[in-house]
Amino acid sequence: MIMNQYEDPLALVDVALFTIQEGRLSLLLATRKNPDEPYCGALALPGGVIHTDEDEDAQAAARRVVRTKLGFDPPYLEQLYTFSGRLRDPRRWSLSVAYYSLVPEGVLAETRIAGLEFVAADSIPQLPFDHNAIADMAIRRLRNKSTYSSLLTFLLPPAFTIPELHAVYEQVTGSATNIAAFRKKVLDEDIIEPTGERRTGGQHRAPDLYRRKGSGVQELKRTI
């Protein structure tokens, strides 16, 4: 190991993982289980030390954290911000690359892994470290990016209806909006496309099903 005249910071990743549970935007918290680490027993954002022997980069480390805690690869994972400082971790000067992740409604409904808990995004309890700051920034980013991208489709199953997307939009942004205007906007943005199917079963007209267009997030441009 090539040395460095300064003590190296502790390098971590933390993940703010969101899903829809019972119609509400929810954040995943995990019980800390390692007795060698601080705040053992407390609920916190899932995270951990970067394993430089196996993780190719920080994104891979975050992916590994989700995979080991939840058992699957997160469909959407984006870097949020890096939190750092001398005092944020009792061990030593630390640096946490924070990510946020979106998981479709229902995927985690049956997952009954011990120590995991979902809390409503608008009533997050007090968390250790600076995890409340991370969660707050993740929600702000999510709210903001929802207004100009196909981000929210990652909170829904592969095929979804416009009313469902509209409900998620209202849940995330916290604002009531006109569904007719929403429909028109989202359709000529060219970020979703009809599957050709409809969802039957309701005692009303069957809504058209759509899927996300393209594999990643689509962002829209502003003018001036």
Partner DNA sequence: TTAATAGTGTCTGTGAGACAATATCAG
Partner DNA sequence: CTGATATTGTCTCACAGACACTATTAA
| Interaction site with a copy of itself (CB under 8 A) | 1-2, 4, 6-11, 49-53, 56-59, 79, 81-82, 84-86, 91-93, 95, 97, 147-148, 177, 181-182, 185, 222-224
Closer by beta carbon to DNA, 136 or else 208: 208
Q: How near is the Cβ of 166 to DNA at its closest, in Å?
A: 8
The CA-atom distances, in angstroms, between 163 and each of 63, 160, 169, 181 are 31, 9, 10, 12
Verify binding: residue 180, DNA, rule CB under 7 A. yes
Answer with the entry of a copy of itself, DNA, none that 190 interacts with (C-beta below 5 to 8 A by kind). none
Whichever of 16 and 43 has its CB closer to a copy of itself, that residue is: 16
Q: Does 196 bind DNA (CB under 7 A)?
A: no
Positive or negative CA dihedral for 90, 94, 100, 101?
Answer: negative
User: By C-beta, is 100 or 160 nearer to DNA?
Assistant: 160
Q: Which pair of structure tokens corresponds to residue 209?
A: 């099903």
Considering the complex, state which of residue 86 and residue 204 has its C-beta at the smaller distance from DNA: 204
Tell me which of 87, 198, 216, 219 binds DNA, using CB under 7 A: 198
> CA-CA distance, 131 to 183, in Å (whole number)?
36
* Least distance CB 56 / a copy of itself (angstroms): 6
Smallest separation (angstroms) from a copy of itself to the CB of 181: 7
Closest approach of DNA to the CB of residue 180, in Å: 3
Q: Are 145 and 196 in contact (CB under 8 A)?
A: no
Structure tokens belonging to residue 140: 């702000």
160, 153 Cβ separation under 8 angstroms: yes
Q: Which does 200 bind (CB under 5 to 8 A by kind): a copy of itself, DNA, none?
A: DNA
Residue 140 touches which of a copy of itself, DNA, none (Cβ within 5-8 Å per kind):
none
Tell me which residues touch DNA (CB under 7 A): 161-163, 177-181, 183-185, 188, 198, 200-208, 223-224
